[in-house]
Structure formats: C-alpha cells, structure tokens
Structure 1
Amino acid sequence: MSMRKIIHVDMDAFYASVEQRDNPELRGRPVAVGHGAQRGVVAAASYEARRFGVHSAMPSVTAKRQCPDLVFVPPRFDVYRAASRQIHAIFADYTALIEPLSLDEAYLDVTENRRNLPTASATAKEIRTSILRETGLTASAGVSYNKFLAKLASGQRKPNGQFVIPPGSGVDFIASLPVSKFHGVGPATAARMQRLGILTGADLRAQPLSFLQQHFGKVAGWYAGIANGEDHRPVVPDRPRKSSGSETTFDRDLTAAADIEAGVLAMAEDVWNWCEKAQAFGRTVTVKVKFADFRQVTRSRSFPAPIMRHQALQVASIELVRGLLPTPRGVRLVGVTVSNFGQPEARPALPLFRATQMAALL
C-alpha cells in the first residue's frame, strides 16, 4: 500500500469565531455561543472563554460562574452552515477525497492533489491561507500518513497553526501521549486503561494483544494498531447522513401536557426545515424526553415509506410523546429525530388529515 498524505482540518472555535468575525464588539472578549438561561448549555466557547475553563456542553450557569464577564450569543446555524459550505468549496479545489466530520472539521486525502503541490504540508498551508482570505476565519491542520495521527496533530498548534507527523515518527509521537488524548478512547475507556496501568501510548503498545482482548474485546485490535501508529481507514467522501434531529432544554421543568407537546412541535419544525432544504426524508421518527431527574426515554415509529409532508411529521411526533403523558415528573428536555433516509415511494407514509382531524391531534 502506498503511503497516504492525510490532512485533518479543524476550524478554531468555529461558532464563536464566526460571531466575533461578524460583531467587532465581541473580539477579544470571552464569548459563549448558546443561551445564558438557567437551563442553557454552551454550544461553543471562544479561546478567551476557554482560559476560564469554559467549554462546549457545559451548563450555562456553570460557565457564567467560572467567567462572570462571559458574553452569551444565541446560535445562528444558517450562518455557520454557509461558512462551512465556503470552507468545503476550498477543500474541493485541492482534492475530491473529503470526509466531513462536522461543520467545522474534515479529513482530506491529498496524496494526489489538484494543485500538484509536492507536499501535504504545503497543501495544508495553502488551504488555511485560502480559508482566512475568503472567510475571515482561522483553521488549524494536522498532517500525517493516516487519519488517526492527522487528527492528533491538528490539536498541537491551535489556534491558527499546523503540525506534521512524518512517516517513521508516529510511534515516537504517540509514546508519551496520555491515552485520554487518543481519538476513539472516551473518558470511561481511558479510566479503565489507567486502572490497568495503561497511562500512555507506550504503555498501550507494551501490552500483548491477548491482554487487550481480555479487557477490551473486539476493539483490542484497533487499540493495538493505533499504539503502533497504524490506521488503515481510507478517507471516505460523501458519507450519507443517517439522521437529522433537534432538541431543546427548557428554562424550567414542564409538567403540562400542552407545554410539552408544544416543545415537541417546535423541534419537529426545526427538523422539517432541514429535511426540506436537504431534500432528505426519512421513514423513522424518534422522540426523546429527558425528565427532571435526568432519566431519559425515547419512543420511535417507522413507516413503510419516507415522511414527505410537514403535517405527517407533526402528527407522528405528537402521537409518540403522548405515549409518555401524562407524567407526574417535570420534563427538562425534548427532542425529535428523523432517520432511515431513503427514496420516496409513490404512497405517503401517513394519510392526509383534514383540518378538523389535525386540530384534534394537535
């Protein structure tokens, strides 16, 4: 197998950087994208906010406590998606092998690049320069011979930098890294490894495969591979999206069925807007409810054909949540997801409803 040239591009504090770009008054200030209400959650934090320990998925109340001067900005996902499209158009100037991971990061295989640049490092530098010139945003990049190492490398010179792990250097680079830094090793697995005396990449590499299989089962081979700097996964372009969902955390616990159903309808509206724009329609609807005690319940229903009408998604979502009502416990979060995408069939997923029938359901 010929040696690949892989770049992992990761935008710097993407959502927060877009907000600082568009509003000069926010530049240099600690910014959190999200809602500062009692039940809000930080979606993204600027580097100024991160110095105070503020990070994504942190409750807004905690973030404000750690950084009293924190400025909350409501998210503008349409703007972030537009910036992401600009960035991906730049990627496409260099290679067709682009594997998006999210709006703000992607793998690129530039083994054969469209600009005929001799090195992946030079290609990454040009891409980052183009992103800054065309969007006003900075990006960091990791360059290596596989995806695992490229992703590790992209975090080494943040923000607005790049780092290269050349062939022959992967094992040495990994050796001193904590296993908790490895992509694919979550907090629970890292803690389990640490209990077994596996603290670094060198510790992981020293374990025989039989030991790893005994403690980690089927993923043991993957752990053994990355400990030796090996990752044979190709960059896979145009990976189909499997679902689209939206959820919200309420400012106060809801107990009234009408309020809970209204929240579900709002999330169904968000999901339908995405489905219409993407022209992607699914057969399975899932409603998620998280109660005040943090217990979480989901209910799903699959149909023989994709849901092609807004009204049908509303009805399916309401019917699913009504299976959980009434509830004596407060509800803190609801969400709606559509999945199982496919080509539409001739017959609709749900019958048409007359206005009187719809009113009875909603």
Structure 2
Amino acid sequence: MKTVLLILLLGLSLSSRAQDLNDPQNKYLGYIYQQQEYQENDPQGDILLLWSAHQIPKFILNNLQGKQAELLQARKVKIDELLKLYPQYAPKEETKNVVVENYVPFNPEHMAIELEGHQAPFKVKNVVMMMKQVIAEEHQLNGLKPQAGTVHEWSPEIKKQIRKKFVIFSRMSKLLVALSRGGTSFYMVTGTEDTLKEYILTRPENSITLEEMFRASYRINQGDVYLTLLTIENLLSRFWLTPQRSKRLITTKLKDITNFNFRTDKFGSWYHLFGIMLYGYAEGGFKAKLVGNIESAGSLVMSKFHNEAQENFINARGGPIGGRLRKFINQGESETFTLNKKYLEEGYYMDLDEDFTKRLEKARKKKEEEENKKAS
C-alpha cells in the first residue's frame, strides 16, 4: 500500500505548512522506533509514525534529483548515532525466520517462462464463507466467542497537536498511514506475533493455506478478529524491504495464493492480501476497495506499466472481504451460522487452475523467433 501515499498525498504534503517537531531527533527516530508491547494508546509512536510518513515526499524528490544515495547515507549516520542513545530500538537479529538459500521460489515443473495470470486467484464471497466457517466452528464447537476488537487510533491527548503539525497525514486513519509505510509491525504490535511465528515454523514447506493461517491467529488472539488480522499482517510484512524476502523461512511455509505460470510472489501476495483485508475490516469494504484501486494505479505507474494483474485482484478484492467479515461479527451471526465443511476446502474459495497452455505456446514461439534472428 506504499503507493497510496504517493498518489493521494505527494502534492498536498509538499504544500502543507507542517511545523518542525520540537525535538529534531524525531526526524530520524521514526525510522528506528519499535513498539515494545501491545498499546492501544501510544502518543510517542504516533508522532514518530507521522514524522516518518511526512518524509516520503521529500525522499521521492531527492530520488528524482539523483540525491537518494546522499540522503540515505546522511540518514544512516544519524540513525547509528541514535541507536547508541536508544539501544531498545536496535533491530534484533532474526534467528528463526532466516533466509533459506536453497529454497526454490518457482514451480520447477512448469516451463521456465514467467507469465502472470489473468484469472482472479480467489472468490470474495467464498473466502468470506470460509472465514465465517472458521469463526462459527470455534464458537459453536470450542466455545471461543468472536470479538470485533479495538482498532488503533491516533492518541486523543495529542490529536490537536499532530493535526497542526501534520495537516494531511493526521487526517488519515492511523492504520492507513502505518499500512502505507509497511510499518504496522513497528507501530502496532499485538504481542502475539512470536506465538504465531512459532506455529508457522512447525509446518511443512508450501503447506499453509489461508484458512489455516486465519484459524491459527484467531485462536492465538482469543477470538479478537482485529488482532487476528493485524498479527498476520505484522508477521508477514516485517521484512518487506529486505533482500531475498521470498526466501524467508516463514514464506517457504505458505502455499501460493496467486496464478503464475513459473515464478510467483508469495511474500507480496500474502502480506498485501491481509493488509488490505485488515483495512477493510477496520474502515469498511468500500473505502478499502477505493484505496486498493488507488494502490494498483500507483503501482502500475511506478512499475512502468508492468503487468501486475494478480496484485490488482488482491488489492480490489481483499478490502470487501474484510468489510463483510466485520459485518458478520457486528451482527453476531457466529452462533447461528450453519456449519458446512465444504467452505474450508481450498478448491472452494481459491481459483488457482488457470490454463497457461495457449499463452505459453505463443511465448515459446516468440522466444524461438528472437533466438533465430540473433543466430542469423
């Protein structure tokens, strides 16, 4: 969701008269801040989140002017200095969700031609039914009653202050700003991420489905649906800026949820889906669908119109899933929902059987023609 900020706020943020924060260190603390435990109200984190988001337009302009390397180096020097003053924010070495060097992030049985599917990878209504089934089973069979949960908001005691300092960003929801920065795991800790991580790491490679992930987090979070989705998002998005993210041990445990012929993007598809689903749950399906479509449009431009059909499907469909799930919880239907095991079948809610035969043949012929031209 990073490009949402670029589309909606670049021009507005540059023209806003946001004042500098009193403490100049806040400009860099936002890049290293790490919430230590679950907090509904976090004034310090809110200010740092807004400040770091406020730097995005400046960073983009520096990038366009060819000054990105210079800016990053200056930032690194400041951050290294701050980490000595605030050792609690020093990133902990990841000892479990490590990079699996020999993991193969593609289907070796398919022809080595990368094609992205034109078919939506899942059905909105059926994914919703699957999640309803999980919640209803846990309620009716295990006594785990669902809770809507409390969505994070800007701290009330500093709301006026931040609205003066950050005219645009502070009028967005805290969740949207955090998601747009890929920073929920830093600013919205649930405290149950490690428990979910431990569970995932016990599972076989390429085995975890959407249903299994949702159910595991739902149980760990004691039926709090908001924290269920947020915990998943925090865990999946944690390393979105790091190299070889597709080879992280957690990612290797996940099943594909998109239609690709050869190489897939499990990391991106999973964390995008739960991010926009979380936003839809918190803010409503319509608003989330709008944000998702803006994200897709921004990604299209930023990728120079590269085909990203599968990500676009996720952006457009994930929000309505979250919105419908929230409605189900608000209406208290889990106790009377008619259970049906078919809703849990992967083939019921996923649609991953796209036939690439014709496109592969066309691509193969084109490749042969290009090779023949080079040879002649």
TM-score bracket for the superposition, by shorter chain length: under 0.3
> Which protein shows a greater Rg?
1
Q: TM-score, normalised by structure 1?
A: 0.26
Larger strand percent: 1
Larger helix percent: 2
Q: TM-score, normalised by structure 2?
A: 0.26
